[in-house]
Structure 1
Amino acid sequence: MDYSEYIPGHLPLIISVPHGGRIFPPEIPDRKKNHPSVVKSNDLNTQAIGRELADKIKLYFKGMRPYLVINHLGRSKIDVNRPIKEGVEGKDTLVAWNDYHNFMQTAIKDVEINFGHGLLIDIHGHSHPEHFVEIGYVLSAETLSFPTSQINKPEIYSGSSIRALYTRKSSNIRFSDLLYGKTTSLGGRLQSHGYETVPSHIHQHPLNDEKYFHGGYCVRKYGSQHGEHVIDAIQIELPRTLRVGNKEKRSNFILALSESIAWFLKEYYG
């Protein structure tokens, strides 16, 4: 059975959903908790959000859609956002893990050929008490708390998953503005819609006692912090309050997120 889904697109944008799978075949063993960081719970509703997000983004581009990569196996069976040794349990999930990442690489190669550069948005969910939308560029909370003058140094931006974007735009914008500028960053745009977002012009970095996910395996694997990569990668962590419960609240948020991503794509990717 195919446990990964790939929908080709027409934009320099890839949306991936690694933890929204809802299939739990009994013949596939559960992952063993032999790594301290193993998590088996799903990011609820992220698959539905990813699909609706892709549909809404089409409205801003005359029906042209993002690429979409979705994992259908539950996280207790597989974690495609982990290296093989942590995410796979047995032969079936090894095949599924490879299928997912083959689709990711197919989408990335297609975007590279057709556009020369592009953006990967990796959709996740969290249950942190702050209920912020967390945007990850593989820069730690500590790094984000550095003074702006330090944020703009080469050793910081060159280690971020949007390195290629900044390299292309560095003559017109500071790196800190791409991270948390009010009118120049993805976080700033979403914050301006009324959704508490970090990093943004309101929340430039998490406070010392606040939890924050800055980017997992997929963003680290495919992002442009690797100098040869031309695809940027951003992890978007959605709080439980925007994913579970009130469907109208969720739909309103997806509208705001789709507008923000569409704006970001038009602004920086042509």
Structure 2
Amino acid sequence: MNITEPIFGSMNYSEYIPGHLPLIISIPHGGQLFPPEIPDRKKSHPSVVKSNDLNTQDIGRELADKIMVHFKGKRPYLVINNLGRSKIDVNRSIKEGVEGKDSITLVAWNDYHNFIKTAIKDVETSFGHGLLIDIHGHSHPEHFIEIGYTLSAETLSYSTSQINENPEIYSGSSIQALYNRKSNSIQFTDLIYGKTTSLGGRLQSYGYDTIPSHIHKHPLKDEKYFRGGYCVQIYGSRYAEHVIDAIQIELPRTLRIGNNEKRSNFILTLSESIAWFLREYYG
């Protein structure tokens, strides 16, 4: 096993573990530190959420360990926010994620994003392209695994031909670079919900209801769906100059809370699915 010592940001509020694969795992909303000297965020923005995505940090760490097994001890890069979401939200712009002008949380926000940028630069230099996986948790009643490529629920509801024939759709996704590399051999919809060609299809084939996938191509009317937040939007390859793709994975409470055996079995499946996706498309 390749053991890499973690690097910590100011006050240990953020953590970075360098890796050896073209894969970065980021965990923004699982922090367990709630220092009293940092004031809680206020609802100064309409969409402010202050509750943690429970167990996502434990899941992300275990996921990284399991992925190492698939690659003979080579590990993904890992970027972790250790502050609770009531104190900071690193998956928002600094204006929305940090309350007021408190210097401690400003530093913590910048540390987290500088670690992501460092990992991206290293992956670009070492591999030429790569993938960022952003781990989240949701409480939607449908209990789907939601995979976000920065495509809206409405866009996913278009027909396969409408999606494949509209370049604005793939160029607006966070996996544009991947599609550009593979467009001679695969259609864009194959990458987002193909049964044997997409991450969602892989998870669905293991029996985990996933959107988008070949079974659930898009959310139905009134079903909630997270398409991918700040980090996936700014670091993914929807910007043509970016060579790192980004995918947001939203895990339902049923896979995060309660049954430890069920959670561990799922992490094994997720690690295998991501390892397959990495080998298939990032070489």
**TM-score interval w.r.t. the shorter chain?**
over 0.9
Equivalent of 1:10, from 13, 20, 30?
20
Partners in 2 of 1:223 and 1:208 — Cα distance?
27
Q: Is 1:251 paired with 2:264? A: yes
Match in the other structure for 1:183: 196
TM-score if structure 1 supplies the norm length? 1.00
Cα offset for 1:242? 0.3
Task: Summarize deviations over 1:158-191 as a string: whole Å, max 9, x none.
Answer: 0000000000000000000001000000000000
Equivalent of 1:45, from 38, 43, 55?
55
Equivalent of 2:65, from 38, 55, 69?
55
TM-score if structure 2 supplies the norm length? 0.95
For this pair of structures, how many residues does the alignment match?
270
Larger deviation, residues 245-254 vs 149-158: 149-158
Structure 2: segments with no counterpart, 5+ residues: 1-10
Identity between Structure 1 and Structure 2 (%): 83
Cα offset for 1:138? 0.1
Which aligned pairs between 1:100-139 and structure 2 lie closer than 5 A?
100-139=112-151
Equivalent of 1:155, from 156, 164, 168?
168
Q: Is 1:144 paired with 2:156? A: yes
Match in the other structure for 1:74: 84
Match in the other structure for 1:224: 237
Match in the other structure for 2:4: none
| SS at 2:66 equivalent | helix
| SS at 2:251 equivalent | strand
Structure 1 residue identity aligned to 2:158: F
Partners in 1 of 2:217 and 2:135 — Cα distance?
21
| SS at 2:131 equivalent | strand
Partners in 2 of 1:212 and 1:251 — Cα distance?
24
Cα offset for 1:2? 2.2
Cα offset for 1:11? 0.2
Equivalent of 1:202, from 215, 225, 233?
215
Structure 1: segments with no counterpart, 5+ residues: none
Partners in 2 of 1:209 and 1:84 — Cα distance?
31
